[in-house]
Amino acid sequence: MSEMSALEAADPDIHELVRKETKRQDESIRLIASENYVSSAVMEATGSVLCNKYSEGYPGRRYYEGQEFIDQVESLAIERAKALFGAAHANVQPYSGSPANQAVYLALLDAGDTVMGLALPFGGHITHGLNVNFSGKLYEIVPYGVDRRTHRIDMNMVEDLARKARPKLIFCGGTAYPRHWDFEGFAQIASAVGAVLVADIAHVAGLVVAGAHPHPFPHAQIVTTTTHKTLRGPRGGMILSDGTYAKELDRAVFPGLQGGPHDHTTAAIAVALKEAATEEFKAYGHQIVANAKALAEALDGHGLRLISGGTDNHLILIDVTPRGINGKPAAQALNRAGIECNYNAIPFDPRKPFAPSGLRIGTPAVTSRGMLEPEMSVIAAWIDRVLANADDETELARVRTEVVEFCQAFPAPGIRV
């Protein structure tokens, strides 16, 4: 009989839930575009004794003693982030992407200042100006959208809006935009109106370092990102910059917004950044895009309506309403069949956000499991089958059995069942 783990002995309830979640992650096809599987090394750093430490401040300037190793950990993370992204300055302390963006607002703006960002219904992020978010409540937001026909950002429209609104800050980047971001074009507009350009690359950070997506530097002065999406690190955030506002940004993170950094997360970010600097990671980033394109092509072959006609990155937005279903029951049926994704608004969606027209799917996690283009055709066929049989529990159970068996051939990094 195997020995009981400390968690199992101390808290069988939580242990059992973790065990079940491990099995669920192992046996399902993860198409949530913002999720991934971290390596065992990243997992180990996350679960280390560094979670016992407080270290408010920055390396060499702390408010607690006992920082001789923590300072080295954070300095390594900072140096690796700077080197990997070609940044002059990096702050690795934001707890996640939203706090990273909050820090940018706090560092650069006064309440009531004007900001431009991609509106959420067109694929932006809540912190880019949604009315119920702090950003929409405290700042004057001038949102931009996408072209009604192409579903791509119309740079002429962005320029017209910017010339009229004269924003202090322009955000580019989003959560459900399947095309490349034109950082250079945004920088020209920002420069013409005297705005600071902030690129939120949370979704595409891993593709950027792999060279599989245009790079935000030297175009953006500030770049924010999460660390757990395509970058394949722990849950966390970073602010990278050209150094112009380094002091303001650091002060905004601490003591402006946060207390002690999560040192175990900082260590795991450092590990992930080291992994992301390898040739293997470069190949991974390119494969994410190749898989997304293959999946898009296969879905198109099944007659599904893809927003903007396809993808340049890791994600695909599908309008499922021509199939007589909306995004929510479609995502739920896929989940019952072992295929995880999220329902999502599509541009100019006539439906409400809780039951929108679309599904958002992405390939970072399945690519981490070693799945390639042929596997994308298999996944597309399952999606098609589920959408055609969303009310048929017997058929969904059949797909689920096939999915579980299929997953066994593609072990997920960091997972020991």
List CB contacts of 2: < 8 A, sequence separation 6 or more: none
Least spacing, CB of residue 206 vs ligand DSN, in Å: 14
Comparing CB distances to ligand DSN, the nearer of 199 and 202 is 202
Nearest-angstrom CA–CA distance, 173 and 201: 6
Give the H/E segment covering residue 365: helix 364-368
The interface with ligand DSN within residues 151-180 (CB under 6 A) comprises 175
- In the set 97, 117, 143, 356, which binds ligand DSN (CB under 6 A)? 97
Least spacing, CB of residue 198 vs ligand DSN, in Å: 15
Query: Which residue of the set 74, 200, 312, 319 is catalytic?
Result: 200
Residue 225 within binding range of ligand DSN, rule CB under 6 A: no
Comparing CB distances to ligand DSN, the nearer of 204 and 386 is 204
Least spacing, CB of residue 34 vs ligand DSN, in Å: 3
Residue 302: alpha-carbon gap to chain centroid: 27
User: 296, exposed or middle or buried, with CB in 10 Å at 0-12, 13-18, 19+?
Assistant: buried
Q: State the number of binding residues for ligand DSN (CB under 6 A).
A: 5
Three-state secondary structure call for residue 180: coil
Binding-site string for ligand DSN from residue 109 to residue 128, where x marks contact by CB under 6 A and - marks none: ----------------x---
Q: Which residue is nearest to ligand DSN (CB)?
A: 34
Comparing CB distances to ligand DSN, the nearer of 31 and 169 is 31
- Please give the structure tokens belonging to residue 244: 């112009």
Q: Where are the beta strands (DSSP E) in 85-220?
A: 89-91, 114-118, 140-144, 169-172, 196-200
Residue 241 within binding range of ligand DSN, rule CB under 6 A: no
Residue 230 within binding range of ligand DSN, rule CB under 6 A: no
- In the set 28, 34, 91, 135, which binds ligand DSN (CB under 6 A)? 34
Q: Cα(first)–Cα(last) distance of the chain, in Å?
A: 16
Comparing CB distances to ligand DSN, the nearer of 55 and 342 is 342
- Please give the structure tokens belonging to residue 305: 């309506």
Residue 245 Cα distances to 183, 254, 256, 297, 300, angstroms: 19, 14, 15, 43, 45
Nearest-angstrom CA–CA distance, 307 and 178: 8
Three-state secondary structure call for residue 186: helix
Instruction: Mark whether 139 is an active-site residue.
Output: no
The interface with ligand DSN within residues 186-205 (CB under 6 A) comprises 202
Instruction: Mark whether 175 is an active-site residue.
Output: no
Least spacing, CB of residue 194 vs ligand DSN, in Å: 29
Comparing CB distances to ligand DSN, the nearer of 34 and 91 is 34
Comparing CB distances to ligand DSN, the nearer of 175 and 368 is 175
Comparing CB distances to ligand DSN, the nearer of 175 and 291 is 175
Query: Which residue of the set 127, 175, 225, 226 is catalytic?
Result: 226
Residue 129 within binding range of ligand DSN, rule CB under 6 A: no
Could you tell me if 267 and 50 are in contact, meaning their C-beta atoms sit under 8 angstroms apart?
yes
Instruction: Mark whether 226 is an active-site residue.
Output: yes
Q: Where are the beta strands (DSSP E) in 231-344?
A: 237-241, 305-306, 315-319, 339-340, 342-344
Residue 89: strand pairing partners: 241
Least spacing, CB of residue 250 vs ligand DSN, in Å: 23
The two beta strands, 29-30 and 339-340, are parallel
Residue 60: alpha-carbon gap to chain centroid: 31
The interface with ligand DSN within residues 358-397 (CB under 6 A) comprises none
Instruction: Mark whether 56 is an active-site residue.
Output: yes
Could you tell me if 113 and 143 are in contact, meaning their C-beta atoms sit under 8 angstroms apart?
no
Instruction: Mark whether 11 is an active-site residue.
Output: no
Least spacing, CB of residue 9 vs ligand DSN, in Å: 35
Query: Which residue of the set 30, 80, 152, 229 is catalytic?
Result: 229
Comparing CB distances to ligand DSN, the nearer of 208 and 246 is 208
Order across the sheet with 305-306: list the strands.
Answer: 305-306, 315-319, 358-362, 342-344
Q: Which residues are catalytic?
A: 54, 56, 200, 226, 229, 235
Positions touching ligand DSN (CB under 6 A) are: 34, 97, 125, 175, 202
